[in-house]
């Protein structure tokens, strides 16, 4: 077992919870410093229709100024080809061309190239400002992003740290007008729409945003898709990684990644909460159908190929689910526990994450599993020790995103109370959660009370803005 002394220890987190009336121990409420009445009101008003299972939302880290590894990988002869739960779309050639556009439309011009300084193209329709605005909106950054952060109010900065999960268009627009940093859209907002309708929807989100948005989806392929489930957007859903490689090797994996990036960017989506870095222990594990291989080295090569292509295409990438899912149960339904030795991670699970970081991954999403060799008291998403390993041992300098805090594992752990403050204290930059209203209020109150230092908020917001600039949004 690895012994660590993280900046925010479990003891410190627990003391924060006690001071804010949270009870004791892992089954306590992890309350943010808001009143019980406020929590009850906001949770009732923000309940989501969770029809998208798994609602696995993650995406974090600022861009890495690293060079992709040489494109000389040996073939990963995986022994688990499978079909990844998706309907066969026909020949490899058909799959490569379906849904691909030779050039992106103006609706996605702002995200078509990494490092672009163009803002996302807005539709010609004028946008009516909300009469509820009570403070000046932040100006779009044109120079030093640190100056931009310094000029923002605490409320604006805390709102930028929310990646709001949305099952419907109305909720998404309300979150946008509240100043959130990004959206994680499930399948319903895309369902039944034409490509132009989706472009218009995302353009409207951007027009109403105080700062340009990260608009993300879980388009992993196989069992987890949001966009390509709609036949108006792609003739067939994207395949999962095992099926792709079995059909066409690295060439098909690469062309599929490129097609996916072109489609998402054309629709106004600038971040894919993918690829999946997890290495399951065997084919019976929950995460198996979403993964590339049971072999960590093969998975690492898959991650390198996919992240390198996504970065070349200008689509934001997210490695998930750190520190590695292994054989844990589905945390959408229950808390997962991982009692493996630390060496199992250094010799296996960390390899795909290291490969993705070297290839320039923008973000890393942290899981809700309790990994005893790192922190036996808290889920990884709420553990400072786990985040310290990601930052210090793996050297990740980009945006760290929590997995969806609305999942049942966290609800059970927190007693149903808002865990946003604990997530910030642990080290997350983006808080993936539907309850944006009470989360923003709780984080602001924690800053004002001195529970969270404002400099800690500034660090996260700077990483988020740097990511947006690299994607051409600022």
Q: What is the pLDDT of residues 129-169, one digit of tens each?
A: 333 333 556 666 657 999 999 999 999 999 999 999 999 99
Q: Is residue 58 part of a domain?
A: no
Residues 228-274: tens digit of each pLDDT:
999 999 999 999 999 999 999 999 999 999 999 999 999 999 999 99
Over residues 300-349, the pLDDT tens digits come to 999 999 999 999 999 999 999 999 999 999 999 999 999 999 999 999 99
- The total of other beta-carbon atoms located within 10 Å of residue 124's CB is 6
pLDDT exceeds cutoff 70 at 76: no
Asked whether residue 378 is assigned to any structural domain, the reply reads yes
Q: What is the pLDDT of residue 143?
A: 74
Q: Is residue 349 part of a domain?
A: yes
CA distances from 334 to 224, 364, 409, 411 (A): 19, 22, 5, 9
The answer to whether residue 224 sits within a structural domain is yes
**pLDDT band of 36, cuts 50, 70, 90:** very low
Is 387 considered catalytic here? no
Q: Is there a domain that residue 355 lies in? A: yes
Task: Decide if 313 is inside a domain.
Answer: yes
Would you call 321 a catalytic residue per the annotation?
no
The boundaries of the domain holding residue 285 are 10-39+79-118+143-470
- The CA–CA distances, whole Å, from 298 to 70, 74, 394 equal 16, 9, 19
The fraction of the chain above a pLDDT of 70, given in percent, is: 70
- CA angle at residue 376 from 370 to 378, to 5 degrees? 55
Catalytic residue among 56, 218, 403, 404: 403
Q: How many domains does the chain have?
A: 1
Whether residue 68 is predicted with pLDDT greater than 60 in this model: the reply is: no
In a domain, 420, yes or no: yes
CATH number at residue 404: 3.20.20.300
State the DSSP code for 40.
Answer: H
330 closest CA partner among 228, 223, 453: 223
Tell me if 322 is assigned to some domain. Answer: yes
Active-site residue (options: 321, 332, 368, 387): 332
């Amino acid at each position: 077992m690895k012994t660590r002394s993280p900046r925010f220890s479990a003891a410190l987190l627990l003391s924060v919870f006690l001071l804010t009336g949270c009870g004791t121990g892992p089954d306590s409420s992890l309350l943010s410093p808001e009143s019980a009445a406020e929590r009850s009101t906001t949770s009732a008003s923000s309940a989501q229709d969770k029809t998208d299972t798994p609602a696995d939302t993650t995406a974090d880290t600022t861009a890495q100024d690293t060079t992709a590894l040489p494109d000389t990988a040996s073939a990963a002869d995986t022994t688990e080809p499978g079909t990844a739960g998706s309907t066969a779309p026909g020949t490899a050639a058909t799959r490569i061309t379906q849904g691909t556009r030779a050039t992106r439309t103006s609706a996605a011009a702002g995200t078509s190239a990494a490092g672009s300084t163009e803002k996302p193209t807005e539709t010609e329709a004028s946008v009516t400002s909300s009469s509820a605005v009570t403070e000046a909106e932040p100006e779009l950054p044109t120079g030093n992003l640190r100056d931009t952060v310094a000029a923002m109010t605490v409320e604006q900065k805390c709102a930028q740290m929310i990646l709001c999960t949305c099952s419907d268009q109305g909720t998404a627009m309300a979150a946008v007008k509240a100043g959130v940093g990004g959206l994680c859209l499930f399948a319903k907002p895309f369902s039944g729409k034409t490509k132009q309708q989706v472009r218009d929807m995302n353009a409207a989100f951007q027009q109403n945003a105080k700062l340009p948005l990260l608009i993300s989806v879980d388009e992993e392929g196989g069992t987890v898709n949001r966009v390509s489930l709609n036949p108006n957007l792609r003739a067939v859903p994207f395949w999962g990684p095992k099926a792709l490689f079995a059909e066409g090797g690295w060439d098909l994996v690469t062309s599929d990644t490129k097609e996916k990036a072109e489609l998402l960017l054309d629709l106004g989506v600038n971040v894919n909460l993918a690829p999946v870095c997890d290495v399951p222990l065997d084919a019976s594990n929950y995460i198996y159908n979403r993964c590339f291989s049971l072999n960590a080295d093969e998975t690492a090569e898959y991650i390198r190929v996919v992240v390198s292509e996504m970065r070349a295409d200008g689509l934001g990438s997210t490695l998930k689910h750190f520190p590695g899912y292994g054989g844990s149960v589905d945390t959408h339904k229950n808390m997962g526990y991982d009692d493996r030795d630390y060496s199992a991670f250094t010799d296996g699970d960390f390899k795909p994450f290291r490969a993705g970081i070297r290839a320039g991954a923008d973000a890393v999403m942290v899981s809700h599993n309790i990994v005893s060799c790192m922190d036996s008291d808290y889920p990884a998403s709420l553990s400072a020790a786990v985040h310290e390993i990601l930052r210090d041992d793996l050297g990740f300098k980009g945006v760290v995103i929590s997995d969806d805090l609305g999942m049942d594992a966290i609800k059970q752990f927190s007693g149903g109370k808002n865990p946003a403050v604990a997530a910030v204290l642990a080290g997350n930059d983006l808080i993936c959660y539907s309850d944006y209203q009470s989360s923003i209020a709780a984080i602001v109150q924690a800053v004002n009370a001195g529970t969270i230092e404002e400099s800690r908020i500034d660090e996260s917001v700077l990483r988020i803005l740097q990511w947006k600039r690299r994607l051409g949004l600022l």
